[in-house]
Structure 1
Amino acid sequence: MLTGNGGHLQHLCAQCTSCDEHAPSLPPESIVQMPEQNTPSGRSSQICSDRRQCIHGISRQTNWVVRSSSLPQRHHIYKISNHFDPIFKLEAPDQISTDGGTNLASEEMEAFFRRWLVKVHLSSAQYPESNGRAEAAVKSAKGLLQENTSKGGALESDKMAWRQHASHGDQRVASCVTGYLQLKEWTNTSGIDRGYGKNNVKILHVRREGVVHSIKEYEINTQLTLNNDKDYIFGDNSDIIATDSQKNTVYILAKKHGIVSPEDFALLLCTHFLSKYPYVEKAKIDVDAYPWRRIVSEGKAHNHAFLFSPEIQHTCTVSQRRGGSAAINGLTGMRVLKTTQSAFVNFVDDEFRSLPDMKDRIFSTIITASWQYNTVDGVDFGKIWANVYKLVIDKFAGNPDTGIFSPSVQNTIYLLQKAALDEIPEISKISVTMPNKHYYTVDLSKFPEVGSLENNEVFLPMDKPAGNITAVLGRATKSKL
């Protein structure tokens, strides 16, 4: 059962134009002061039954129905008690009102209610104030059915489910129809971070321009977030776009629109899901582009033959809500190494240190970088990706003849990030990670007869354990004051 919030609900009642239709015609029974219960919210609900073998859960503070359902057709006590059991496990009411029917007034049911510390209250026509609660419940349930019945008399269950769970401004529609508290308050849906989609959708698109062909091979993840929780909470799948349908959408849109870049295709998918399905609140698309390049033969690029070149991978993520979008570009798997112009000295020297100062060392890493755009309108994503790639090479390797000195991995990351923000105004923030791939000098001095006291040519690769250096640098936000 749901518990009421007196002041909040009374305020909602006073502003609701349809509440009078569901209010009892007789004055409400005065609230019985009950001792505080050891539950998250205490007990403030009541159950009423009528001769049509229905039960109605009533908020004692508002007289609104919070649950209506049918009792079993037969009066078998175990069926009735099994019907109440899951309700009571959620929150047992302090009182149940009945008109005296044998299905709820038997010794077995009395024992069941005693076990749950529920008081049984006899209600009849001679007690109109008490009976007002059942009247309020019946009015709400009847109104709900009438408003969702077609001209032919059939119950429009989809429409009624929408009215129960859809939002209308800041208030759940169900709050006005059946007196539910806001669903978010009851189920704590504010803590739900949910979404669903299809992962690892692989696609190869071939663009044929005469004898010259171009290819794009992607691996795509789709994820959608709905504007309601009815699939998650109630098992209502009526708004779910199947993940298989999402996969098919990737292929159909690629055929219809072609593929220019990972970012443009991800934006196309996001726009499609948001425009076609009004109940989709957010679309998120991840794209990994496979690194193919044309084969060069006899000094000439081949028309239709390609070489898989896993030197670096182009990635992107586009997350779009209605009225806005955010694109994140990236590159990953870029393994680089330079044999000099790198040092690491003057770091903390204490009892835990074993690493000596290294004034000249091999610097190797696998670079992962991602950057966020401050706009996606009119952006040439391919050009910006190529510019960032060039900056990575420049700040790691430097001039081909002299190189660039790196006093630490941290400083190299900073120089790259600063250059990206200085030179590319469309980038608002950039994240870079560079794990160490160590190469240690092999000690050959222990072999005096065949070895050497000095060695700067033979190294032992050691990638585990490894240091991991990461940083995020963004533009300073302007104060609104």
Structure 2
Amino acid sequence: MPSLSTNTYGKARVRLVKVRRGDDQTELLDWTIRILFEGDYQDAYRFGDNSGVLPTDTMKNTVYSTARASSASSPEAFALELTTHFLRGNPEAEYVSVEIAAKPWEHAVINGSSHPSTFRLAGEELQTVAVRASRTATEIRSGLRHLVIMKTADSGFEGFKKDSLTTLPETADRLLGTDASAEWSYIGTPTSFRGIRQRVREMLLKTFAAHQSRSVQHTLYAMGEAVLHQVPELSEIRLTMPNLHCLLVDLSRFGQENPNEIFVPVDEPHGFIEATIRR
């Protein structure tokens, strides 16, 4: 008789907004959460026996109830609270995974000052966390998505392999843009996820800006190397950097020169570069 090889079930896209109220200002947390259980659910799949199945609606309610009592200010800390809670009450679950994507709300600046209770959404960039926990081990991966960055100097692409179908011209001066994602793992459990995230992001931007790029691969490695050098709490970082192509427009047919100033953005197709840098 066939047996159940793997199984996962849970609740996805649980939306949570929490206001943390302080004496002088408030903090706005906007998280989208996914919860997944893996474990001994053979009877549910084979025989329709739901006696060990926690309803996914209960998972959703647990998010809101836990958030009410939680003091967590980072998505990592909140994910750890949820995995601990679910493992404690569900012996059928061998692993519980909690993934959170956080929107970047920041205080609006009004008349030159940060307003204590008014916020603006600071772009499409997301903070991410994925926690996968059992009763004996916990894996934490933090990250960011949609870090959209571009540089207008110090980037080229030359000396690449060519064959009979190569039409791309070499260039020592091009725009380099990417919609970057990063995900990193920790050595142990940090005391300040927020501080580490800020340092990682700063190093990614600083290195991207300063690097004399010979390719996306070249800059990706430099960014990951710099993060591991400056943030000793990390064991590895994976970077995904698809190209945001901007192609130089040929203005010669109009009798005009184009000294690397007029470009057309092209979304598809685009180059896709990804690598993991590990200690």
Scaled by the length of structure 1, the TM-score of the pair is: 0.56
Structure with greater contact order relative to length (CA < 8 Å, sep ≥ 6): 2
Query: 2:275 — aligned with what?
Result: 471
The one-letter amino acid of 1:388's match is V
Contact 2:24 2:116 in 1 (8 A): yes
Task: Give the 3-state SS of the residue equivalent to 2:270 in structure 1.
Answer: coil
Measure, in 2, the Cα distance between the counterparts of 1:353 and 1:457.
25
Q: 1:320 aligns with which of 133, 141, 148?
A: 133
Matched with 1:420 is: 227
Q: In the alignment, which residue of structure 1 is the partner of 2:262? A: 458
Percent of aligned pairs with the same amino acid: 35
Give the match for residue 363 of structure 1. 176
- Listed as ranges, the gaps of 5+ residues in structure 1 are 1-185, 399-403, 476-481
Alpha-carbon distance between aligned partners in 2 of 1:326 and 1:266, rounded to the nearest angstrom:
11
Q: Offset of 1:424 from its aligned partner? A: 2.1
Whether the 8 Å contact between 1:216 and 1:259 is mirrored in structure 2 is no
Q: Deviations over 1:397-440 (max 9, x none)?
A: 12xxxxx3111100111111112222222212211011111111
- Tell me the C-alpha RMSD between the 2 structures: 1.4
Shift of 1:352: 1.4
Amino acid at match of 1:430: I
- Distance of 1:339 and 1:422 partners within structure 2: 26
CA deviation after TM superposition for structure 1 residue 311, in Å: 4.6
Q: In the aligned structure 1, how far is the partner of 2:20 from the partner of 2:109?
A: 19
State the AA in 2 paired with 1:390: E
Distance 1:210 1:419 in 2: 38
Aligned to 2:2: 187
3-state DSSP class of the match of 2:180?
strand
For residues 61-118 of structure 1, the C-alpha deviation after alignment (integer angstroms, 9 at most, x for no partner) is xxxxxxxxxxxxxxxxxxxxxxxxxxxxxxxxxxxxxxxxxxxxxxxxxxxxxxxxxx
User: Contact conserved, 1:205 with 1:258, CA < 8 A, in 2?
Assistant: no
Tell which structure's C-alpha radius of gyration is larger: 1
Q: What is the match of residue 129 of structure 1?
A: none
Would you say the 8 A contact 2:41–2:53 is kept in 1?
no
Corresponding position of 1:44? none
Question: Does the aligned pair in 1 maintain the 2:249–2:258 contact within 8 Å?
Answer: no
Q: Given the alignment, which residue of 392, 407, 422 partners 2:214?
A: 407
Deviation of the 1:209 alpha carbon: 1.6
Matched AA of 1:197: G
Opposite residue 142 of structure 2, the aligned amino acid is N
Q: Which 4+ stretches in 1 moved above 3 angstroms?
A: 186-189
Question: What's the secondary structure of 1:384's corresponding residue?
Answer: helix
Contact 1:291 1:313 in 2 (8 A): yes
Alpha-carbon distance, 1:196 to partner: 0.7
Contact 1:395 1:416 in 2 (8 A): yes
Deviation at 1:389, TM superposition (A): 0.2
The verdict on how the C-alpha distance between 1:311 and 1:237 changes in structure 2, with shifts beyond 3 A counting, is closer
Tell me which residue corresponds to 1:124: none
**Aligned residue type for 2:155:** S
| Aligned equivalent of 2:185 | 372
TM-score by length of 2: 0.96
Match of 1:256 in 2: 69
